Structure 1
């Protein structure tokens, strides 16, 4: 028995009990989708499951086996979890490139006809904005539509998912009403005619950090702060505007996401995990808003459809 690098973890010859548990779970498992899901679950809960688990899917040339392309669901799951890599994990970058190339080859070729339409749509959505570049509520909304069309879906789980989403939607509408009253009471629009009215967009951004239902107050506070920042930003833009600003912002986000992900799995306690979780969640809003230019300043197209799906259209419970 020696000292363990992870406080509170039991070690045998320097190997933590958690690592031994992971090894036992994946031993003999050769299904790509299953391994990817296990990897995702452990990483999301802050356990640094080694990406060496994917070595079993690489050939003698250290490249991912081309035969994996036949497993479309497995490729899609690997594509999603490849975004949970850290700066030093080159294999995750290789997995991302490998899966993206093969999944994109399905997009626009006759091969897509061999895939169920709802799965093909799910792949298209993932390629446009991956799960971990999207915000949780949008991921949930899209997945409910996908799951409903899957032949293996469970009716009870599906109905509860719909009810839960519709309740969240109702709660969000109440929060927007609170924010609208507060904004009108401030009456800044009459004093600063150059500022934008972005109540709904600011609430939408707050969902990036606090998507859980119980954090209603957190969403309202974040939305209010964001609205004040917008006032300052609009005042600044009235005098100076640089078109590349949002591209620079997006680049910084992408460069640092892996670093935050690495710290998220660091159990030394440098930064509380709940704080890092909010950072990871809030950061994902940048990909949503700036995927196609400045979606915040001009929320038409995709952003408008996102907000309609979250705030306007409830999910029918049947049919």
Structure 2
């Protein structure tokens, strides 16, 4: 799914997010590389809105992204405050499944812990197999250390 060609790279983004949340993105590092920068993303958002597209403002995504700040990025410190206040106010008015997502994010941001993604069976099966394989490898390594 990650390597399939698509006309719109935004179609892949939710899938990539889910792969990362399941902890299996290390298998797809080359495929996940993204050439877009914040300028390109903001420009795309503005142009889509100007042409009447119903593009979500992504308040929750901005909140999560602001936790990826590095020292000295004061604008992202302000973004955390701004989005926290607005998400807290909006929480009672949101439709399912957003109240759960926003509530979880406000309690534990993506930087501090990823919630389990809700996905199709094939990706979940892949994540389970990966988990079991890693568990097997760790057990084997531990048994070799003990010898």
Larger radius of gyration: 1
TM norm structure 1? 0.26
Report the TM-score, using the length of structure 2 for normalisation: 0.50
